[in-house]
Amino acid sequence: MDYDVTKSAMEDTFKVPGVIVDKYLKLSNPIHLQIILWMLRVGLPMSAAKVSEQLRIDRSIVNEAMFYWIDCGVLIPCSPSQEDKGDEPLYKAEIPDAHAEKKESEKPAPRIKSPTPKLGSSIASADELLKRAEESCGFKFILHEAEKIFGRSISRAEQSMLLSLMDNYGLPPEVIIMLITHCVNIGRKGTAYIQKTGEGWAEEGIFTIEAAEEKIAAQKKINKLWTELASRVGNRNPRPTKKQEEYLKIWNEKWHFDIEVIFLAYEEMADRCAKPSFAYVNKILERWNSEGIKTADDALKAQQSAADAAKSSSLSAGSPSYDIDTVEKNNKKKKLVYKKRG
């Protein structure tokens, strides 16, 4: 069955830039589409504050929509006129010139230095992203799920990063969704962190849901270990540095030390070093691992044995050639004899 618009509905129309439908309809957040259509209907220029007030949409969401449509080349900010009150910036439509776009397409394409550029090294155009979303159900699924995970419309830079994870690094869509969810859950929503983590997953060969689950579980374990250690030693950093995380992985995953043993090693380091040193803690734990020490009891016994040996060595080095206890006992047995002076 075909459908048509009624004649009465067509009597009241307004202009909508074709680029909104042709390029961005499939990639845009529904709320962002609602905002731009209402703005075009009511009339531009218009401030974000007015949009938020009239549509009863949170100001932060309206601001995201403004930035999104600016990034798409549909809106541009403009200064308020003298008649307008306040310093609230206004926004007006910037409809692309079809002739200019044609001339731009006639320019020779720039040389690409590498067929597969480094992750995050370039941002795909809106046309490229739209084309990939139309060609690949997987990429379209990633974009849809990513917006739900972030709770907002994602930028072109973020879309490009996700596309690179799929096309350049071969991560399957379901693994990319698990990656995004994990990063957001630990409070690391930045594009740079997500892309670096995704690159690491690809290098480790994490291309299945099972492998991703194991990776996330191991990461959660390390994060919990850091939280416990940081709480005990008074470190307020919410996350370990990259080097500290590497040490934690060695201590826990390779040598199988729990928090109790690691804390004992940290205390020993603190007694000997003026400043905290994970490298020194690593030397202690490396020695304990080579000596077969695995539990906190083993570590305490080893520390006590080392202390006793050091004490014994110190006494031996500074002890006299006679037994002081024996001398004192002999003196007590002797009778004191006082002689008169002549």
Give domain limits for the chain. 13-95, 118-207, 217-314
Instruction: Give the C-alpha separation, 235 to 275, whole Å.
Output: 13
Contacts of residues 130-138 at CB distance under 8 Å and 24 or more positions apart, as own/partner, are: 130/23, 130/24, 130/26, 130/27, 132/163, 132/167, 133/26, 133/27, 134/26, 136/166, 138/166, 138/172, 138/173
Residue 20 DSSP label: H
DSSP string for 153-200: PPPHHHHHHHHHHHHTS---HHHHHHHHHHHHHTT---HHHHHHHHHH
Coil/strand/helix, residue 91? strand
Nearest residue to 243 via CA among 267, 265, 276, 211:
276
User: Highest mean pLDDT: which of 96-105, 118-127, 128-137, 246-255?
Assistant: 246-255
pLDDT tens readout for residues 133-170: 888 888 999 999 999 999 999 999 999 999 999 999 99
Domains 13-95 and 118-207 in one fold? yes
Phi, psi of 46 (to 5 degrees): -155, 150
261 to 244, 266, 326: CA distances (angstroms):
16, 9, 44
Cβ(91)–Cβ(49) below 8 Å:
no
Least confident span in 77-86, 253-262, 291-300: 77-86
Looking at the structure, give the CATH architecture of the domain made up of residues 118-207: Orthogonal Bundle (1.10)
Instruction: Give the C-alpha separation, 286 to 255, whole Å.
Output: 8
The pLDDT confidence band at residue 103, using thresholds 50, 70 and 90, is very low
Quote helix, strand, coil % in the chain, to nearest 5.
Answer: 65, 5, 35
How does the average pLDDT of the chain come out, rounded?
81
For the chain, give the percent of residues with pLDDT over 70.
80
pLDDT for residue 116 is more than 50? no
Q: Tell me which CATH code domain 13-95 carries.
A: 1.10.10.10
Instruction: Give the C-alpha separation, 198 to 36, whole Å.
Output: 34
pLDDT for residue 10 is more than 80? yes
Coil/strand/helix, residue 90? strand
Residue 222 contacts by C-beta under 8 Å, 6 or more apart in sequence?
A: 240, 245, 248, 249, 252
pLDDT number for residue 120 = 42
pLDDT number for residue 332 = 54
Instruction: Give the C-alpha separation, 106 to 100, whole Å.
Output: 10
Nearest residue to 40 via CA among 71, 19, 61:
19
pLDDT tens readout for residues 17-38: 888 888 777 767 788 889 999 9
Residue 103 DSSP label: H
Unique residue bearing structure tokens 């403009």: 78
For the chain, give the percent of residues with pLDDT over 90.
45
pLDDT for residue 291 is more than 80? yes
**β-bridge mates for residue 92, sequence order:** 76
